[in-house]
Amino acid sequence: MSMRRQRLTRPLLAIMALLGVMTSAWAGAKTAAELRRMVEDIEAMAADVAGETGIAAVSPRVLDVIATVPRHEFVPSEQKTSAYRNRPLAIGHGQTISQPFVVALMTELLAVKEGHRVLEIGTGSGYQAAVLAGLARDVYTIEIVRPLAETAAAAFERLGYTNVHTRIGDGYRGWPEHGPYDGIMVTAAPDHVPPALIEQLKPGGRLVIPVGEIWQDLMVLTKNADGTTTTTTVVPVRFVPLTRDEKEQD
């Protein structure tokens, strides 16, 4: 390379590097603004439906965690421009990532504390588990669709969610090796409450689950000290059905 070409190339490289930094900063600011709007949408919707859910507002602790989770990292590339809209998005294989408000509501209903061990049935894209990871000590999450499970596991590793533990399999039977759990969340709808999940719940623990067929009831089951449960029906919801492994069905 000649001296003249070197003199021309170095400033050009510097300009390109500066443009890269500026573009990255702009993208980061845009994402932060979209996250803020999404959190505001969650707060507004929570207020609108408080009479139905019995939840006056989503707690600051839950909202603060949601404000740190990059939802665009948990959706397919073709959905990234819609990542921070308050609506569900398709993630492939007939599955969806839940509406941010529903994620916030179910997380609030689970009442996760810092030292809790939580089980999630239906990892999907991994977004809900990432939110739970900011609140709990450990999150164990099961996904039956292998490509989704592998993509989510890669996202957890890339983004540093070291307290999320993944497994590929039928979530209907839970994950007894790490139970009992302080809380269990199910993000797909069975037509009844799986008995194994109640068995794996600690006394005083909560199970948040949509139950039904086309339309479901979002329910909160609290396990009592004597092993019985108290059930509260919260609101109608619509989730994809809970997929079962045909070989493991009773």
In our burial notation (b when 16+ CB lie closer than 10 A, e otherwise), range 144-181 reads: bbeebbebbbebbeebebebbbbbeebbbbbbeeebbb
Please name which of 78, 73, 136, 69 lies closest in space to residue 103, comparing C-alpha atoms.
Answer: 69
**Whose structure tokens read 């086309």?**
214
Q: How far apart are CA 68 and CA 64, in angstroms?
A: 7
CB of 184 closer than 8 Å to CB of 174: yes
Catalytic residue among 2, 77, 98, 125: 98
Q: Which two tokens stand for residue 136?
A: 């709990």
Q: Which two tokens stand for residue 190?
A: 């069975």
Q: How far apart are CA 84 and CA 248, in angstroms?
A: 37
**Residue 59 annotated in active site:** no
Please name which of 153, 111, 109, 148 lies closest in space to residue 130, comparing C-alpha atoms.
Answer: 153
Crossing angle between the packed helical segments 3-48 and 100-110, to the nearest 10 degrees: 60
CB of 216 closer than 8 Å to CB of 238: yes
Which residues are tagged catalytic? Answer: 98
